[in-house]
Amino acid sequence: MVTLATAFALAWAAVAFYAMWLGLQQHRIRRRLDALEELNGEEESCRPRSRAA
Amino acid sequence: MKRRLSISTISILAASFGVSALLAACGWMIFLFAPREITMGDVQRIVYLHVAVAWCGLAGCVAMGLTAAAYLARRNSVWDHWSQAAGELGWLCATLTLATGSLWAHEAWNTWWTWEPRLTASLVLWTVFAGYFLVRASIEDAQRRARLSAVLAILALADVPLVIMATRWFRGIHPVTPEMDPRMRIVLLISIVSFSALFILLAILRKEQLELAARVLSRERQTGVVN
């Protein structure tokens, strides 16, 4: 029974670990995307001022 | 830039719900519906998990090889993303195949490992997957990485028939197709379908994620954030 429980626990732990890793990767990509959007926003807000100058 | 994934969140949630329901039903069938095997007892239930992950590992290798061939033919990075996603899941399943097989072997053969033809071929498959990801991790240029790993993925296909036919071509102790109670066959089939559905869902999510990451990287290069 211990062997059976170990096998199933191992399988679920591996799948859960992979799913968590996927979530972490998604979070990192989103942060990079946010940083890019912030950078683009700053560039756009700079444009009118440079034209006015 | 398109922020959302190309597949809608609702369809992902619906698919996740469906796969979870299928896996829950599969768990119930493995522990409560399938009859207890006379010789090995409850430990035999490992087979429902072992065969399902072994099938997914082999399917992952085939998908990785075929999508790699499609990449070499079309030079479209989407195929490379499919290949990587299938490879990651194939490797995960190959690892679980060796682990669950080893646990079963300890009860059935009184040893954790033996250099039996199918076990050896499965270990070779696991090593090929590891090599594929070592190659991917060591090359920075995306096109060169995709090209070289595609060649390796196609070569990995050669081990698939070896794993499947090892018990027939060479004399070994691994069971070929043991006689089974019809209820056991149903549970095995449901288990294979459930794990395949989980595999496909995770592969789709990973492929979408890889595409999004590639788009972000290309945008970062355009804006000069990275080289």
The residue written with tokens 């096109």 in the block is B143
Q: Which domain holds residue A47?
A: 18-53
Q: Is residue A10 in some structural domain?
A: no
Instruction: Let me know if residue A1 belongs to a domain.
Output: no
Chain B, 73 to 102: residues with Cβ < 8 Å from chain A are: 88-89, 92, 95-96, 99-100
pLDDT at position A2 is 87
The structural domains of chain B, with segments of one domain joined by +, span: 39-217
Establish if A42 belongs to a structural domain: yes
Angle of helix B46-74 versus helix A2-52 axis, rounded to 10: 30
Q: Please name the residues in contact with B155: beta carbons below 8 A apart, sequence gap of 6 or more.
A: B128
Let me know if residue A45 belongs to a domain.
yes
Q: B164 burial class (0-12, 13-18, 19+ CB within 10 angstroms)?
A: middle
Q: Does B222 touch chain A (CB under 8 A)?
A: no
A46: in domain: yes
Averaged pLDDT, B8-30: 90
A51 lies in some domain: yes
Indicate which of A1, A27, A31, A32 best probes the interface with B, i.e. most B CBs within 10 Å of its own CB. Answer: A32
**pLDDT 10s digits, B101-145:** 999 999 999 999 999 999 999 999 999 999 999 999 999 898 999
Segment A14-36 mean pLDDT: 91
**A32 lies within 8 A of chain B by CB:** yes
Residue A11 lies in a domain: no
| Cβ-proximal residues to B36 (8 Å cutoff; 6+ apart), any chain | B42, B44
Chain B contact for A16 (CB, 8 A cutoff): no
What value does the mean pLDDT take over residues B40-63? Answer: 94
- Which positions ≥6 away from B82 have C-beta within 8 Å? B63, B67, B70, B203, B207
Q: Is the ipTM of this complex over 0.85?
A: no
Distance, in Å, from the CA atom of B184 to the CA atom of B77, rounded to the nearest integer, reads 42
pLDDT attached to residue B151: 96
Share of chain B above pLDDT 90, in %: 74
* B194 lies within 8 A of chain A by CB: no
Residue A9 domain-assigned (yes or no): no
